[in-house]
Amino acid sequence: MSDSDSDYDESSNPDVILRQALATVLIRFLQTEPQGRVLKVCLRSIRILSRDKKVLGPLITDRALLTLAHLGGISNAPVPKEDTDGDSDPYNDIIEAISESKLGRADEDDHGSEEDDGSGAVSSDVNDPVVWGQSDWCGERKASTFSNMSLRPSRRRSSVFKALTPGKRDSRGSLGGEEEEEEKEEKVDDEVNRKEVMKIFCNIVYNSTWAQERASELSLLCGLTEKLNKEFQSASSPCGHFYTLRFMFLLTALRSELRAQLKQEGGVPLLTTVLEKSLSVQWKEQYEVMLDPTAPPISVEDSQQAQEALKILFNITHSTHTQEPEEEDASLYRHLAAVLCHCLMVSWEEEEASDELKGHAANMLSALPLSCLDVLVSVPLDPDSHQMNGANMDCVHNLLMYMERKLGQVKRKGKK
C-alpha cells in the first residue's frame, strides 16, 4: 500500500471529490510557507476537512504529514520530499482543471461581450460553481498549468491597498510601540497555528489506521517528546499544550510499539514534569509536595493538560504493578506517586474538572507497584490530619471521599 492510499474508498459523490481536491490544494499550498492570516485560515480549513474520513487521502501522505509536523514545531522530522511513487499527482490535475475552467469561462465572456451592445457590463462569474469529476484530477498525470492562473491583485486599487502593499508598513500613520505589538501578535499567531496543526493530527490519527502507521514510521512521537522536553524544562509554567498531549495520547493508545518506545525513551519522567508544571508543584522534601491552602485553585486549562499527561502515563505504565521495580525506577515511581497524592489533595477551579482528574489519578495509582505507594501515608502529620497507627491518611481519606461521591452519582443515574 502506498502512502497516498486512504483507509476509505473514494466516493463518486461530487461534494466529496471537491473536498478531496480542496485538501490536496491546501496541503500543497502549505509547502510554499504562507504566513500570517493566510496560514491561519489554511490550517483552519484543513482542520475542518480532517474531520471527514472520506477526505483524508491527501492529508495522510508522508509529504503531507511531514509538512504538518514542521508547522507544528516537530523539528526532528525529515524535510518533506516530492512523492516518488508512480501514481498521478492529483494536485497538477486539479490546477489544470481550474485553469481550463477559468479559460473556458473567459472565452464565453469574450464571446458574450462581442454580442453585447456595450450598454451593460459583463456579469461576474465569481459565484459560478466549478465541479470536477474523478477523471479531471485522478486520471493520467498532466503538466501543471499553475502559471496560467492569475494570482495578482485586481487592477482596481484603492488608496488603502497602496498604503498596505506587501513589504511596506502602513503609510497612513502609526502608533508608538507598533513593532512590539506586531511581535506579540506573531508569537500569538505561532501558538495558534501550532495548536491548529495538533488538532489536525488528532483528527487524522484518530480516523485513519494508515496515518497511525505512517506516524510511527516517521518517528513523530520522538519529535513530540523532544518538543515537550524543551518547552517544559523552562522555568515558566507552559500552557496551551493540551492538543500536543492529546496527539501523544492517541499515538500511545493506538500503537503498542509506541507505548514501549515512549517508556523506554524517558516518557515517565517527562510526563511527570508536565504534571508538576501543570499543577505548580513545589517540593518540601524528596517525596513530599508542599500544600499551600492559600494558593489559588488549579485552572480548567491546567487541569485538562494534567489529565492528558495522566492518560499517557497510564498507557505506558499500566502493567508496572505486576513487576518488581529496580532501585532507579522505584525512586521515579515514588516521585510520581507523591505528585498523584497532590492531585487528590489540591483544590480545583471546577468540580467536574476535579473529579475527572482525580479519576485519572486513581487509575494511575492502580498501575504503580504497591511497594512505591508508601509515600502516600508517610507524609508528616498535622494537628488536623486523618491518621491511623501513626500514618497520615489524608490522601487515602480524599481518595475514599472521591470514590464514595462517584458511587453515589452512579446510583442516582441507575434510579433514573
Supply φ then ψ for residue 241, to 5 degrees.
-105, 15
In three-state secondary structure terms, 400 is helix
pLDDT for res 312: 96
Q: What amino acid is encoded at 11 in this protein? A: S
Say what the pLDDT of residue 123 is. Answer: 40
* Cβ contact 232:273 at 8 Å: yes
Instruction: List the grid coordinates of 176.
Output: 508608538
Higher pLDDT, 163 or 299: 299
Q: Which of 87, 90, 86, 75 is nearest to 26 (CA)?
A: 90
Q: What is the mean pLDDT of residues 228-250?
A: 82
3-state secondary structure of 56: coil
Rounded to whole angstroms, how far apart are CA atoms 224 and 209? 19
Give dist(CA 337, CA 151) in Å, integer: 59
Higher pLDDT, 10 or 272: 272
Instruction: Output the pLDDT for position 3.
Output: 44
For residue 348, the cross-strand partners are 298
**What is the model's pLDDT at position 101?**
58
**pLDDT bucket at 105, cuts 50 / 70 / 90:** low
pLDDT at 276 over 50: yes
- Mean pLDDT (whole number) for 64-79: 83
Taking residues 168-193, report their average pLDDT.
58
Please check the confidence at residue 212 and state whether its pLDDT lies above 70: yes
Q: How far apart are CA 263 and CA 323, in angstroms?
A: 15
Give DSSP secondary structure letters for 226-258. Answer: HHHHHHHSSSS-----HHHHHHHHHHHHH-HHH
| pLDDT at 232 exceeding the cut of 50 | yes
CA 93 – CA 95 distance, rounded (Å): 6
Q: Average pLDDT, stretch 298-318?
A: 93
The pLDDT mean for the chain works out to: 77
Query: In terms of Cα–Cα distance, which of 182, 255, 179 is closest to 215?
Result: 255
pLDDT class for 125, splitting at 50, 70, 90? very low
Q: Residue 194: count other Cβ atoms within 10 Å of its Cβ.
A: 20
Flag the least confident range among 15-19, 99-103, 185-189, 243-247: 99-103
72 CB neighbour count, 10 Å cutoff: 26
pLDDT of residue 86: 45
- At 146-161, the pLDDT tens digits run 333 333 443 444 443 3
Mean pLDDT of 334-346: 93
More confident call, 116 vs 366? 366
Residue 62 vs residues 5, 67, 69: alpha-carbon distances, Å = 11, 8, 10
Provide the pLDDT for residue 316.
94
pTM of the model: 0.74
- Determine the Cα angle at 280 with ends 274 and 281, to 5°: 85
The CA distance from 267 to 98, in Å, is 48
The confidence band for 8, taking pLDDT boundaries of 50, 70 and 90, is very low
Query: What pLDDT, on the 0 to 100 scale, is given for residue 157?
Result: 41
pLDDT given for residue 246 in this prediction: 95
